[in-house]
């Protein structure tokens, strides 16, 4: 059961929170008592998400934030401190994933730069702007949203490189921020049913068979992991990667299926 007071008095800022994992995470923190700032490049959709949660009685606000722009990030962080009263948790969920070209050598510089700038450097910008505020309260936490793409090959060269880099940034920042009372961790989801998969139910059904737990993830699965790492329940955890992937990266389901024991027949 959700603890409706675990984040009482906490201010939380989430990037890329208009939909999907970010929106589910905003709901989770709000339901646990936090005041939440939903940020996204899509201002109207961010406001729609925030308004829906406010209508349910939660303290949730919205702000346009383009993580590729330093001024936009700094303004959003300042707004979070003002709107929430403090900034205790930063969740970096904003990302860009450009489909690969059929041949690696045909990939445009622009697509590579965009994916790294939003997914990795965007998180860096947000952490840089938020860290003094997170440290001021003595209970600050950063949770970055990575991906299994940063751990193994699932395609998408630039996106995967950015997510792998986010893992490294998580560890180095955790080392720096620990003395300032701020914890920094990473959640790495597998396939999650978001709007990116809309109209692709047959494909998701095929993908589901690769997961030992027999299903793809839901945004709420990731939100629960984020809330744990940001909470006092994880007070002695920093610099770690929590893989939320239904066992995908731990178990080679295809191999286990191909190599069957004679007694299985």
Query: What share of the chain has pLDDT > 90, as a percent?
Result: 90
- For residue 233, the SS3 value is helix
pLDDT of residue 143: 98
Over the stretch 7-44, which tens digit does the pLDDT of each residue have?
999 999 999 999 999 999 999 999 999 999 999 999 99
Judged by average pLDDT, the poorest of 5-14, 90-99, 163-172, 256-265 is: 256-265
Q: Please enumerate in sequence order all residues whose Cβ is within 8 A of that of 221, keeping only pairs 6 or more positions apart, or say none.
A: 189, 192, 244
Does 4 fall in a domain?
no
Its domain, for residue 183, covers 11-264
Does 152 fall in a domain?
yes
Across the chain, what does the average pLDDT equal? 95
Over the stretch 156-204, which tens digit does the pLDDT of each residue have?
999 999 999 999 999 999 999 999 999 999 999 999 999 888 889 899 9
Average pLDDT, integer, range 146-156: 96
Q: What is the total count of domains within the chain?
A: 1
Does 91 fall in a domain?
yes
Does 68 fall in a domain?
yes
pLDDT of residue 1: 61
pLDDT of residue 258: 86
Shortest CA distance to 89 belongs to which of 47, 39, 35, 52?
Answer: 35
Chain-centroid distance, C-alpha 243: 12
Distance CA 30, CA 60 (A): 7
Does 3 fall in a domain?
no
- Write down the H helix ranges in the chain: 20-31, 43-55, 70-84, 109-116, 122-136, 157-177, 201-208, 219-230, 253-258
Does 113 fall in a domain?
yes
Does 2 fall in a domain?
no
- Using alpha carbons only, how large is the chain's radius of gyration in Å? 19
Task: Please spell the DSSP secondary structure of 97-152, one letter per residue.
Answer: -PPPPSSGGG--HHHHHHHHIIIIIHHHHHHHHHHHHHHHTT--EEEEE--GGGTS
> Does residue 90 surpass a pLDDT of 70?
yes
The answer to whether 159 is a known catalytic residue is: yes
What separation in angstroms does the CA of 237 have from each of 28, 110, 114, 142, 152? 20, 37, 32, 12, 24
pLDDT of residue 265: 57
Give the angle 26-73-38 at the CA atoms, nearest 5°: 15
> Does residue 262 surpass a pLDDT of 70?
no
Choosing from 96, 159, 169, 222, which is the catalytic residue? 159
The residue ranking higher by pLDDT, 265 or 201, is 201
- Whichever domain contains 53, its CATH number is 3.40.50.720
- For residue 66, the SS3 value is coil
Does 156 fall in a domain?
yes
Query: What share of the chain has pLDDT > 70, as a percent?
Result: 98
Average pLDDT, integer, range 209-213: 94
Q: Are 247 and 213 in contact (CB under 8 A)?
A: yes
| pTM for the model | 0.95
Distance CA 110, CA 129 (A): 26
Over the stretch 58-83, which tens digit does the pLDDT of each residue have?
999 999 999 999 999 999 999 999 99
> Does residue 223 surpass a pLDDT of 90?
yes
């Amino acid at each position: 059961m959700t603890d409706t007071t675990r984040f009482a008095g906490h201010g939380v800022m989430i990037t890329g929170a208009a939909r999907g994992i970010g929106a589910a995470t905003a709901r989770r923190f709000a339901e646990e008592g936090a005041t939440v700032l939903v940020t996204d490049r899509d201002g109207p959709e961010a406001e729609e998400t925030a308004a829906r949660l406010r209508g349910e009685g939660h303290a949730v606000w919205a702000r346009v934030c383009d993580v590729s722009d330093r001024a936009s990030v700094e303004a959003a962080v300042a707004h979070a401190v003002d709107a929430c009263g403090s900034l205790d948790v930063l969740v970096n969920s904003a990302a860009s994933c450009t489909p690969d070209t059929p041949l690696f050598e045909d990939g445009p510089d622009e697509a590579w730069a965009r994916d790294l700038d939003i997914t990795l450097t965007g998180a860096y910008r947000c952490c840089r702007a938020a860290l003094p505020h997170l440290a001021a309260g003595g209970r600050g936490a950063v949770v970055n949203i990575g991906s299994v793409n940063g751990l193994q090959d699932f395609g998408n060269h630039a996106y995967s490189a950015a997510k792998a880099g986010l893992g490294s940034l998580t560890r180095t920042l955790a080392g720096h921020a620990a003395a300032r009372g701020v914890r920094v961790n990473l959640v790495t989801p597998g396939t999650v049913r978001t709007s990116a998969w809309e109209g692709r139910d047959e494909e998701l059904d095929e993908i589901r068979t690769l997961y030992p737990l027999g299903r793809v993830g839901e945004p709420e699965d990731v939100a629960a992991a984020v809330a744990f790492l940001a909470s006092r329940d994880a007070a002695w955890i920093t610099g770690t990667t929590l893989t939320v992937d239904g066992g995908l990266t731990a178990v080679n389901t295809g191999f286990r299926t191909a190599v069957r024991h004679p007694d299985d027949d």
